[in-house]
């Protein structure tokens, strides 16, 4: 129908809006199967049929169609002119076809939008060359807007299953270009950087919407030239003009062809025979036949795509035939992806041609291999050097290399170049695909060294004056060749990049689990490097590899270690070593090294491993005999973190063994500092907002310090559960602190065992309303109050209901051990509280009260007597505990203790009142008034004494003199 309306004359330009609506109805009717759209399509087909018949009667096609859609033929002067033309034409009996060409064509809105999309794509491609992300962002917004409008009216069908392939290609290419530019984003100006960041989110959204189209294009990437050739082949195969949907599908692929036809003249009427043939067809079939397209049944829906594919294959075959006579050249693209083996598929031929910056073809062959390799080595580290392109070039050279010596020379340059690639978008660590590629290259390096014993890589200085080609000839003759390099640095860097990637991945996602699987091939690589260093007698590198191996397994259980060992090749596996004693064997080897740091870290890892597997006494003795705790503060920060982790693991091992006091002593320092996360390198402790003044005294960290602390954080799978650790510490503190509080109930200077526990208990007791316990801390505080009241059964119920115990191995045994400890400490607390009120206690009654054997009760009381915690004696015949009273004044009673406390408080209150009155009197001037009154009294006494003394002198002589003197004194 669009071609039908394109035949309109210049006078029809005023009906643009109606033309758009009619074209929309036609397009939707051909792509949808709904009833309303089918009705409009049927009406349009009838209009086409009637037009041919009305032409013979002198009525134009335009008048018939406009009358069909409610427009009058006499609505304008142009319509009347058309009527006069039709009257003159109707004089003849035979119908006459109009051959008048239009001087102006009607441009549909979809044409304009598709033209805008083509223009936007052209602008984006040109702006990509100058890295102008502001313009790219602006044009991409226009492109996305036009696509959103067109996608609602243009749908895929059997003839064109991918109408917007050009848009998917543009989004995919733009996303690849965005990833390449990430490394240089830091050098952009502010506006360009903001546009670059905004494009990242928009591309992510579009890629998610066009996931199928982008995936299809990546599987079969077709550029603009190939797409245009494909479109021409389809046009020739169809032997007709492209339909509306096909034109829209290839809009972005063709150059400047019209989307809805070539704007050529088409006849508006058909013969009567053709009209008769159209009667028995459906509306869509009549439309397709009208435009020269054959109807397609549901069974033949795949015919058009197959025909399209054949045309594309024919075009590709033609291109290959043209290239057969020319020499093959390979242009190294900057967005080349490096795969699992470090490069793309290796071609059959060993030579290829690379295009350099000057535009000249550079052929890489066996003769020029070392020369080109030296050029790439000299270009490394320069600002103008593209790291991705350099990796691709070195990979191509590796493909060309044939001998083991050539491959080693290339690998010693390629592996450091891969480590140099560190894009900012990945968070400062090597991307996963590059990491796997680097690991594969190091694996290939070790394969070459294991099969060619005449080649050795050493850190010692070698003769650099010898040309690589000369070394190549010596190698072929069987001489021993030494190359300069450091394999352990590759292993160490690869392990560090693996740890960095785990630090930056969310541990609660499947991505973290998938990334953690790469530790197995990394462990195999470390063991292979260790065996190589042992073969070449490189002691320092061998010890470093052994330590790296220990650092990957010391925190794992025997089952996990056995799985890692099973992945080793047969020639690298030691049959005499079992997973249970592997860490012991490796650490014993490291104790003989001369490096102090390696010995210290090996010892800490050994102690940690023993404590993890329940050997507390052996681990404790080993740590104490080494005296490492005295030098821990002088070691590096990583060793200090390992020392803290070892001490914490010792405390947990003591708790599992039932050693409550040893466990509390080991964990006391960490929980008393309030920086448990920082000390264990498991995160950063957030300041408590309730103590804002205390938080203000902390010194703020510089960005450099924060960056270093983040680098030292351990991966999530190495963390020690802090909630479990806090539960263990508070439980041990409860079992120690509650009997201590009962023993020194009347002593104001009693010793405090655990300050964090006492603070939590005091805070809990000050609460006005206390509900049922919710978290771990609430359960322990409720259990502590029940234990202090003598309700040991309730205390056991609170403690065993904590769910965190399920994370420990042998959780049932842990709960039984805690129940027994609570019974014992409950007995001690009961004796301390009620000893002043009894003369003797029966052992049988205590045994029944706390559900303990009589012998156990006897042993607990005897231990209390020996340690001078209880003044009593055991009467064996009567099976009683006789309590001794202290002399009066030696030990205070409860009443005496409260009286002393009351007297102290009253004295403090009096002192406070006096100080407050003194300060108020000074402020009100009362003190000055009192001084004036005292001065007046002194003056008045002096005057009265002088008068009395004179009268006495006249009357009584010496006696008057004495009184006068006395008056003066007063």
DSSP notation for 436-450? HHHHHHHHHHHHHHH
- C-alpha torsion 288→293→296→302, nearest 10: -130
pLDDT level of residue 64 (50, 70, 90 thresholds): very low
| CA 304 – CA 308 distance, rounded (Å) | 6
709 pLDDT more than 60: yes
Q: Is the pLDDT of residue 861 over 50?
A: yes
User: Please, which pLDDT band fits residue 886 given cuts at 50, 70 and 90?
Assistant: low
Per-residue pLDDT at 431 exceeds 80: yes
Check residues 560 and 258 and name the one with the higher pLDDT: 560
* Average pLDDT of the residues in 846-860: 91
- 648-686 pLDDT, tens per residue? 999 999 999 999 999 999 999 888 888 888 899 998 876
Q: Which pLDDT value is given to residue 720?
A: 93
How much is the pLDDT for 151? 80
Tell me: pLDDT of 576 over 70. yes
The closest of 717, 713, 611 to 666, measured between CA atoms, is 611
- What band does 492 get if pLDDT is binned at 50, 70 and 90? very high
Which residues have CB under 8 Å from 272's CB, separation 6+?
52
Give Cα separations from 950 to 562, 963, 969 (angstroms): 121, 9, 15
Section 368-382 average pLDDT: 85
Task: Give residue-wise pLDDT tens across range 908-936.
Answer: 999 989 888 877 766 666 667 777 788 88
| Dihedrals phi, psi of 869, to nearest 5 degrees | -85, -25
Average pLDDT of the residues in 576-600: 91
- Predicted local confidence at residue 467, as pLDDT: 80
- Burial label for 448, CB within 10 Å (0-12, 13-18, 19+), is middle
Query: Residue 502's pLDDT is what?
Result: 92
Between residues 231 and 74, the one the model is more confident about: 231
Evaluated on CA atoms 469, 474, 478, 479, the torsion sign reads negative
Residue 843 in contact with residue 880, Cβ under 8 Å?
Answer: yes
Predicted confidence at residue 249, as pLDDT, reads 42
The predicted pLDDT at position 302 comes to: 40
- Give 764 or 100, the one with higher predicted confidence: 764
| Contact present, 831 and 870 (Cβ < 8 Å) | yes
Per-residue pLDDT tens for 200-218?
888 888 888 888 888 888 8
pTM for this prediction: 0.60
Supply the pLDDT for residue 39. Answer: 41
Q: What is the pLDDT of residue 665?
A: 92
Is it the case that residue 855 has pLDDT exceeding 80?
yes
Q: Show Cβ contacts of residue 556 under 8 Å, excluding neighbours closer than 6 positions.
A: 564
Give residue limits of the domains in the chain. Answer: 109-218, 380-461+468-551, 721-837, 840-892, 894-934
746 vs 945: which has the higher pLDDT: 746
pLDDT computed for residue 749 by the predictor: 60
Determine which helix (DSSP H) or strand (DSSP E) holds 776, and give its type and residue range.
Answer: helix 776-788
Percent of the chain with pLDDT over 90: 29
The more confident residue out of 419 and 225 is 419
Which one is predicted more confidently, 169 or 4? Answer: 169
- Asked if 565 and 573 touch (Cβ cutoff 8 Å), the reply is yes
How high is the mean pLDDT of the chain? 74
The top-level CATH class assigned to 840-892 is: mainly alpha
- Asked if pLDDT for residue 571 goes beyond 80, the answer is yes
> Has residue 520 got a pLDDT over 60?
yes
β-bridge mates for residue 483, sequence order: 457
Residue 945 has pLDDT above 60, yes or no: no
Q: Distance (Å, rounded) from C-alpha 664 to C-alpha 415?
A: 49
Mean pLDDT, residues 522-547:
93
Closest CA to 147 of 133, 161, 164: 164
Predicted confidence (pLDDT) at residue 738 exceeds the cutoff of 60: yes
pLDDT at 465: 64
* pLDDT score at 227: 57
Who has greater pLDDT, 798 or 107?
A: 798
pLDDT of 716 over the 90 cut: yes
Question: Exposed e or buried b for every residue in 250-273, given b needs 16+ CB within 10 A?
Answer: bbbbbeebbbbbeeeeeebbbeee
Strand, helix or coil at 879?
coil
Closest CA to 750 of 764, 738, 766: 738
819 pLDDT more than 90: yes
Statement: residue 259 has pLDDT above 70 = no
Give the pLDDT of residue 106: 58
pLDDT of residue 34 exceeding 60, the answer is no
Residue 692: predicted pLDDT: 39
Stated as kind and residue range, the H or E segment containing 482 is strand 481-484
pLDDT value of residue 427: 66
Instruction: Give the pLDDT mean for 354-362.
Output: 50
| More confident of the two residues 618 and 961 | 618
The structure tokens 């009443």 sit at 895
């Amino acid at each position: 129908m669009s071609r039908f309306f394109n035949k309109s004359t210049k006078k029809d330009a005023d009906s643009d809006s109606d033309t758009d609506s009619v074209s929309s109805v036609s397009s939707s009717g051909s792509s949808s199967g709904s009833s309303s759209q089918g009705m409009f399509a049927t009406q349009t087909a009838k209009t086409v049929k009637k037009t041919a018949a009305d032409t013979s009667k002198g009525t134009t096609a335009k008048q018939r169609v406009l009358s069909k859609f409610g427009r009058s033929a006499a609505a304008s002067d142009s319509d009347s002119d058309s009527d006069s033309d039709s009257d003159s034409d109707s004089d003849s009996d035979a119908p006459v076809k109009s051959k008048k060409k239009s001087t102006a064509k009607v441009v549909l809105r979809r044409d304009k939008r598709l033209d805008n999309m083509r223009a936007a794509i052209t602008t984006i491609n040109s702006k990509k060359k100058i890295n102008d992300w502001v313009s790219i962002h602006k044009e991409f917004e226009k492109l996305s807007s036009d696509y959103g409008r067109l996608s609602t009216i243009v749908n895929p069908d059997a003839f064109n299953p991918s109408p917007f392939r050009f848009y998917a290609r543009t989004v995919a290419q733009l996303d690849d270009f965005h990833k390449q530019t990430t490394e240089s984003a830091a050098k952009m100006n502010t506006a360009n950087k903001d546009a670059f960041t905004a494009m990242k989110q928009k591309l992510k959204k579009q890629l998610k919407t066009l996931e199928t189209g982008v995936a299809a294009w990546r599987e079969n990437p077709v550029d603009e030239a190939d797409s245009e050739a494909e479109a021409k082949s389809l046009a020739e195969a169809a032997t007709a003009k492209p339909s509306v949907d096909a034109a829209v599908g290839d809009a972005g692929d063709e150059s400047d062809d019209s989307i809805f036809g070539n704007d050529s003249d088409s006849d508006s009427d058909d013969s009567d025979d053709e009209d008769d043939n159209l009667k028995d067809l459906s509306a869509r079939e009549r439309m397709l036949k009208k435009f020269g397209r054959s109807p397609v049944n549901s069974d033949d829906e795949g015919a058009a795509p197959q025909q399209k594919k054949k045309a594309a294959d024919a075009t590709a075959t033609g291109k290959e035939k043209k290239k057969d006579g020319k020499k093959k050249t390979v242009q190294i693209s900057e967005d080349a992806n490096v795969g699992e083996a470090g490069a793309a598929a290796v071609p059959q031929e060993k030579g290829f041609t690379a295009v350099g910056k000057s535009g000249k073809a550079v052929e890489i062959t066996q003769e020029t291999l070392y020369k080109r390799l030296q050029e790439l080595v000299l270009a490394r580290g320069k600002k103008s050097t593209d790291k991705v392109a350099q990796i691709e070039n070195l990979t191509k050279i590796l493909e060309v290399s044939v001998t083991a010596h050539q491959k080693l020379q290339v690998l010693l340059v390629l592996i450091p170049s891969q480590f140099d690639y560190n894009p900012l978008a990945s968070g400062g660590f090597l991307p996963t695909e590059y990491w796997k590629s680097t690991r594969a290259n190091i694996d290939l390096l070790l394969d070459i060294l294991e099969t060619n014993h005449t080649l050795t890589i050493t850190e010692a200085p070698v003769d650099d004056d010898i040309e690589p080609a000369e070394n190549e000839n010596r190698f072929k003759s069987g001489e021993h060749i030494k190359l300069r390099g450091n394999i352990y640095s590759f292993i160490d860097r690869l392990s560090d990049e693996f740890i960095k990637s785990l630090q930056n991945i969310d541990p609660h996602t499947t991505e973290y689990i998938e990334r953690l699987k790469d530790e197995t091939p990394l462990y195999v690589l470390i063991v292979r490097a260790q065996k190589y260093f042992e073969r070449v007698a490189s002691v320092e590198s061998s010890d470093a590899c052994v330590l790296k191996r220990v650092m990957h397994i010391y925190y794992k259980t025997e089952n996990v270690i056995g799985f890692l060992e099973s992945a080793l090749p047969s020639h690298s596996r030691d049959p005499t070593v079992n997973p249970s004693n592997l860490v012991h064997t490796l650490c014993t080897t490291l104790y003989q090294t001369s490096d102090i740091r390696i010995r210290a870290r090996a010892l800490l890892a050994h102690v940690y491993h023993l404590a993890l597997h329940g050997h507390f006494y052996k681990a404790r003795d080993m740590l104490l005999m080494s005296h490492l705790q005295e030098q821990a503060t002088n070691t590096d920060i990583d060793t200090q973190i390992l020392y803290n982790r070892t001490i914490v693991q010792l405390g947990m091992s003591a708790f599992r063994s039932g050693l409550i006091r040893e466990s509390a002593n080991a964990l006391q320092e960490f929980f008393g500092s309030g920086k448990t996360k920082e000390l264990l390198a498991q995160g950063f402790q957030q300041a408590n907002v309730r103590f804002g003044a205390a938080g203000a005294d902390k010194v703020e960290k510089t960005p450099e310090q924060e960056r270093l602390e983040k680098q030292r954080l351990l991966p999530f799978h190495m963390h020690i559960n802090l909630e479990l650790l806090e539960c263990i510490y508070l439980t041990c503190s409860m079992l120690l602190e509650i009997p201590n509080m009962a023993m020194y109930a009347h002593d104001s200077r009693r010793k405090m065992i655990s300050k964090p526990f006492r603070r939590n208990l005091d805070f809990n007791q000050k609460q006005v309303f206390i509900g049922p316990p919710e978290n771990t801390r609430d359960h322990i505080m409720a259990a502590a109050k029940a234990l202090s009241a003598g309700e040991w059964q309730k205390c056991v119920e609170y403690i065993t209901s904590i769910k965190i115990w399920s994370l420990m191995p042998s959780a049932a045994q842990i709960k039984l051990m805690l129940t027994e400890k609570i019974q014992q400490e409950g007995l001690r607390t009961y004796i301390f509280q009620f000893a002043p009120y009894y003369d003797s206690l029966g052992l049988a009654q205590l045994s029944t009260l706390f559900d303990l054997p009589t012998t156990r009760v006897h042993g607990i009381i005897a231990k209390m007597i020996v340690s001078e915690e209880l003044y009593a004696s055991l009467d064996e015949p009567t099976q009683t505990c006789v309590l001794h009273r202290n002399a009066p004044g030696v030990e205070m009673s409860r009443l005496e203790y409260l009286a002393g406390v009351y007297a102290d408080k009253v004295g403090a209150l009096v002192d406070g009142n006096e100080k407050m009155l003194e300060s108020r009197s000074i402020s009100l001037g009362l003190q000055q008034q009192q001084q004036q009154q005292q001065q007046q009294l002194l003056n008045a006494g002096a005057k009265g004494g002088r008068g009395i003394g004179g009268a006495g002198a006249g009357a009584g002589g010496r006696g008057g003199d004495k009184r006068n003197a006395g008056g003066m004194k007063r």
